Amino acid sequence: MRREGVALVVSAPSGAGKTTLIRRLLGEFSTFSYSVSCTTRRPRAGEIDGKDYSFLSREEFEHRKAEGFFAEWAEVYGNLYGTPLEPVWGMLRQGSDMLFDIDVQGAAQIKLSLDGAAVFVFVLPPSMEELERRLRGRGQDDETVIQRRLESARREMTEAGWYDALIVNDTLERAYDALRSVYLSATLAPARNPGLRACLSA
């Protein structure tokens, strides 16, 4: 029986392990489409335009923003990021699950615009020391950027109390099990299973 799509929004302070967890979920469940965001930041080595992000100039981003192209947008670490509105509604209407990797400010906007249709997960590092270790271990950022990310992490974690699920990424196995459980439970909600709901009153 056909069900409606789950919009799963995942946020985390940079370095907590969100990308690792999301890639695994996308690898296990082919039901998911990934919401490709637009950004003004430069591509990192290995990132593909149109797959990881749509990379835009600031001018183009501002133009699309003014046209109402984005479901939400935010400035994160000095760059603009936004979720295109149209593909989101289209995919959910078709019954596809959608995965969003967005920061706390953007997640709060999605909460308002999707009006209860989305499930929100916040991934926490086991400690600030471990977060710092992971940021350094990833070898992507210089010292100034690491310090800025740690400062933002503290702020983001104080803003995350409204999420539906908080997952501590201590061991990857445990954190991944928790994430897939949140997703699988969401697929069972009566609101996403109109066919089964009809059986209840039959």
**The binder of ligand ADP chosen from 16, 25, 91, 98 (CB under 6 A):** 16
Host H or E run for residue 39: strand 37-39
Greatest CA separation for the chain: 63
Phi-psi region of 3 (alpha: psi -120 to 50; beta: other; left: phi over 0): beta
Is residue 95 within 8 A of residue 195, CB to CB? The reply is no
Torsion sign (Cα): 130, 131, 134, 140:
negative
Window 69 to 128, contacts with ligand ADP (CB under 6 A):
none
Question: What's the rounded Cα separation, in Å, for the pair 1 and 89?
Answer: 21
Window 135 to 154, contacts with ligand ADP (CB under 6 A):
137-138
Question: Which residue is nearest to ligand 5GP, using beta carbons?
Answer: 106
Q: Is 125 annotated as a binding residue?
A: no
Window 1 to 60, contacts with ligand 5GP (CB under 6 A):
11, 14, 37, 41
**The binder of ligand ADP chosen from 33, 120, 169, 179 (CB under 6 A):** 169
Chain residues that interact with ligand ADP, rule: CB under 6 A: 12, 14-20, 134, 137-138, 169, 171-172, 175
- Give binding residues as ranges: 12-19
